Amino acid sequence: MKYPFPVGTNDFIQGDEAIARAAILAGCRFYAGYPITPASEIFEAMSLYMPLVDGVSIQMEDEIASIAAIIGASWTGVKAMTATSGPGFSLMMENLGYAIMTETPIVIVDVQRSGPSTGQPTLAAQGDVMQAIWGTHGDHSLIVLSPATVQEAFDMTIKAFNLAEKYRTPVVLLTDAEVGHMREKVNIPNPDEIELLYRKLPQSDEEAKFPFGDIHGDLIPPMPIFGKGYRTYVTGLTHDERGKPKTVESEIHEKLIKRIVAKIENNKKDIIEYETYDLDDAEIVIISYGIVARSAERAVKILRKEGIKAGLLKLNVLWPFDFELIEEIAEQAKKIYVAEMNLGQVYHMVKEGANGKTEVELISKIGGEIHTPYDIIGEIKRGL
Amino acid sequence: MAVRKPPITTREYWAPGHAACAGCGCAIVMRLATKAFSEAMEEKYGDPDAFAIAHATGCMEVVSAVFPYTAWKAPWIHVAFENAAAAASGVEAAWKKLGYKGKILAFAGDGGTADIGLQALSGMLERRHNVVYIMYDNEAYMNTGIQRSSSTPYGAWTTTSPPGKYSIGEDKPKKWVALIAAAHMVPYVATASIADPYDFYRKVKKAAKVDGPAFIQVQGTCVPGWRVPPEKSVEVARLAIETGVWPLFEIENGDFRNIKFQRFPKDGKFKKPIEEYLKLQGRFKHLLKNPEAIQQLKEQIKEMWKVLGKEVELP
C-alpha cells in the first residue's frame, strides 16, 4: 500500500499532522470533523490524505454530528476518528456517553485550549482532564491518553486505536495547542513494524446474537459489523446481552454498567503507561503529564545539580488512574508536587492516591503559557 | 437651501480600529447593517440606540473584540458558534416581558448559520422572536483557516475541499439558507450584497421595522479565503450579481410566488459570463481549466433561479 506521506523515515512536522498520519497508519479510514482552532490542521491533513488511501474525510455540520458520524462508521467495521478542541469536545459529551454505553471503538482527539467557553483559542491548557474523564453523565469508564511530544502524539494515536479496538471503548487522546502546533522530529516507522489490533468479531451466528454479552469471560463482547448479515440492535438505553432495551430492570443495568467499567479497570496494568525520571531515590517527586512534563523533567535535572533529590513521574495515561502507584510513591517521598496547566485536576486524583501518606502540592499555571522549569523550581524551593 | 438628509446615517456603531483584513467584505456588512438598524430604531421607537447585538463566534466577532478594545458601540453579546439565534431569542423574550422598546440584531457567518447554528435559527424563526438575523456569507470557515461550509459554492477550493486528482474542490451545490428561512413563513427574508449598499441598507431597515423575525443573507467577500486582491473586494461581489451567481431577492411571509427581485435582467439573460466572476478569485483557479465543472456550476445556478421561479440564460 502506498501512503501519501513518507514512511520508514524521520520527518519534521506539527503534532496535529503527526496525529493525522499516525491515524492513517493505524488503519483509520474514516474521519468526520468540524473546524476548530487548534485542531483544524488534523482535519486539513485528513482532507488531503483520506482520498489517497481510499478513506473518507467528511465535514459535518457541528461536533455533535462529527462524533455521531464516527460512531455510525465504527459499526460498519471501520476504524474512525474525530478531532476537536474544548468547545467542540463539550458538544460531544452526549455521544461520548453513547459510545461508552454501546461499546463503540472510536478515537476522539481533544487539542486542548484555554477555557471555559471560547477562552483562548490559540493557547494551550490542560483544563479538559476532568471533562475527558467525567464530562459525560452517568457511571462509566473510558481511556484518556496524554502525549508530551510530537513523537508521543504520533505513537499514542496508534496506541489509542489499538486500545479502542481491544477494549471496545472510546479513547480520548488529550493533547494541547502546544503539542498540536509545535514542529518536532518524528520517527515514522515502516507500516509493517507497527502492531495493529482489530476488534473481536463474532466467530459464529450464535456469538453474533450477543453483541453486548460477556460470552468469552473477558468482559469484552464480540462486535458484529453492520451489513455483514446480523440484525444487531444498538441503543443508548440500558440493554441486555442481545442489545434489547431493558430500562426498568435494575439488575440488568447494574450488570451492564459494572462490566463496562470493569473491562477498563480490571485491565489497568495493560492500559496504564508512565515514565519515571530519577524517581528511585527522590525525596521531592513531581507528577506531571503532557507538555508540562517536559518542563518538569528539566526542573528535576537542575534541582539534582543543586543537590536536591528530585524525581519525576510522567503520566502518559490519565484514565484509568493508578492510585496504588501514587500511594507507593507517597510512602517514599517527602513531598509530591503536581504541575499542570489548570487550577488543579490531576492534583485531586494524586491527593486521593497519596492517601495522606505525604503532602501533595499543586503547581498550577493558567493563561496559555507553559510552566518554565524555573516556575516549578521556584515553587519547590519555597517549600523547602 | 435645505440640507438633504444623508442617504446613510452618519452615526457609527462599528468603530474604526477593528482588526479585519484590508478589503474585508464582511466588515462593510457590519458597518452598514448597524447604521441601517439604528436609523430604523430611530424611526420606529424614536431612539437610534434601542437595540442590542447577539453575535456568534466567527471572523467579525474575533476582529471586533481584540482585547482590550471593542469596535461595538452597542450592547453586544458574543456567544459560542451555534448560539446567536438562541441567545438573541433570550434577550428578545426578556425585553418583551420587561416592556423595553427595541429590537435585537443577530450576526453569524455562514458556518454559524448554515451548519452548526441552523437548529437555533430555525427555532428562533419558528417561535417568531422579534429579531433580525443577518448571515454574513463569506462562503467558508474563514476564521479557523478557510474550511468549507455548506454555504461554500460548488467548485471552490478550501483547506477541507482541496482540489486534486480525486476532487474538483467543493463538490456539492451551495445551501441557500435564505430559502430555508423563508420556508418558516416569517415576515421578511432577503438576500443582499456589499456591492449594492443602498439595497442592503434598505433591506436591513425594512427587516428592522417588521413585527416578528427577519433574515438577511448577505454576501461578503473574504480577501484571503477567496484569494482576491483587497481592492477587488467590491468588484468581485458586483460580478457575482451581474453574472447571476448571487441573486438579490425578498420573500415576505413565505410567499414564494411573489418574490421581489432586484437587479435582475428583464429578459432573464445575464450579460456577463460567470467566468468573469470566477477568474478574479484564486479559490476557483483550478476550475478555469475544467469546462465541465464550469458547465456543472452554471446548471446549478440555473436550477437555483428555477427554484426562485425564474428561467435564466447564462452566457
Q: List the domains of chain A with CATH numbers.
A: 9-193 (3.40.50.970), 274-382 (3.40.50.920)
B14-34 mean pLDDT: 95
- Rounded distance between C-alpha atoms, residue B172 and residue B300, angstroms: 10
Mode of pairing for the β-strands spanning A9-14 and A183-188: antiparallel
Q: In chain B, which residues have their Cβ closer than 8 Å to the Cβ of A33?
A: 160
Contact flag A59-B148 (C-beta cutoff 8 Å): yes
pLDDT at B145: 95
What's the angle, vertex CA B90, arms to CA A96 and CA B12, rounded to 5?
115
- Rounded distance between C-alpha atoms, residue A353 and residue A324, angstroms: 6
List residues bridging with B261 in a β-sheet. Answer: B249
Per DSSP, the three-state class of A33 is: strand
CA distance A263 to chain B (A): 35
Q: In this complex, which of A36, A47, A51 lies closest to B144 when CB atoms are compared? A: A36
CA distance A63 to chain B (A): 8
CA distance A59 to chain B (A): 8
Mode of pairing for the β-strands spanning A310-315 and A274-277: antiparallel
**CA proximity to A309, closest of A329, A285, A330, A339:** A285
Amino acid at A155: D
Closest-CA residue in chain B for A50?
Answer: B166
B298-309 mean pLDDT: 97
- Computed over every residue of chain A, the mean pLDDT equals 97
As a dihedral over the C-alpha atoms of residue A355, residue A136, residue A105, residue A6, rounded to 10 degrees, the angle is -80
Give the confidence band of B1 by pLDDT, cuts at 50, 70, 90. Answer: low
DSSP state of A362: E
Q: DSSP states of B49-95 as a string?
A: T-EEEEEESSHHHHHH--TT---BSS-EEEE-TT-HHHHHHHHHHHH
Contact flag A61-B150 (C-beta cutoff 8 Å): yes
**CA proximity to A295, closest of A283, A304, A286, A308:** A286
pLDDT tens sequence across A113-136:
999 999 999 999 999 999 999 999
pLDDT tens sequence across A26-66:
999 999 999 999 999 999 999 999 999 999 999 999 999 99
Is the pTM above the cut of 0.90?
A: yes
Amino acid at A291: I
A3-12 mean pLDDT: 97
Give the confidence band of B96 by pLDDT, cuts at 50, 70, 90. Answer: very high
- Rounded distance between C-alpha atoms, residue A108 and residue A47, angstroms: 17
Helices (H), B210-273: 223-226, 233-242
Amino acid at A56: V
- Rounded distance between C-alpha atoms, residue B81 and residue A65, angstroms: 14
pLDDT at A220: 98
Residue B132 phi/psi, 5-degree rounding, is: -100, 120
Q: In this complex, which of A47, A61, A118 lies closest to B160 when CB atoms are compared? A: A47
Q: Quick check: B24 and B224 in contact, CB under 8 A?
A: no
Residue A147 pLDDT more than 80? yes
Residue B246 pLDDT more than 90? yes
Contact flag A47-B162 (C-beta cutoff 8 Å): yes
A229-234 mean pLDDT: 90
B68 prior amide bond cis, ω within 30: yes
Q: In chain A, which residues have their Cβ closer than 8 Å to the Cβ of B147?
A: 35, 40, 43-44, 59
Contact flag B159-A117 (C-beta cutoff 8 Å): no
Q: In chain A, which residues have their Cβ closer than 8 Å to the Cβ of B166?
A: 51-52
Residue B284 phi/psi, 5-degree rounding, is: -110, 10
**CA proximity to A119, closest of A96, A97, A89, A161:** A89
Contact flag A35-B80 (C-beta cutoff 8 Å): no
CA distance A374 to chain B (A): 29
Per DSSP, the three-state class of B272 is: coil
pLDDT tens sequence across B136-156:
999 999 999 999 999 999 999
Give the confidence band of B2 by pLDDT, cuts at 50, 70, 90. Answer: confident
B254-262 mean pLDDT: 97
Per DSSP, the three-state class of B31 is: helix
Contact flag B160-A52 (C-beta cutoff 8 Å): no
**CA proximity to A318, closest of A176, A130, A190:** A130
CA distance B137 to chain A (A): 16
Q: Quick check: A329 and A285 in contact, CB under 8 A?
A: yes
Domains (range + CATH), chain B: 25-307 (3.40.50.970)
pLDDT at B176: 98
Contact flag B167-A87 (C-beta cutoff 8 Å): no
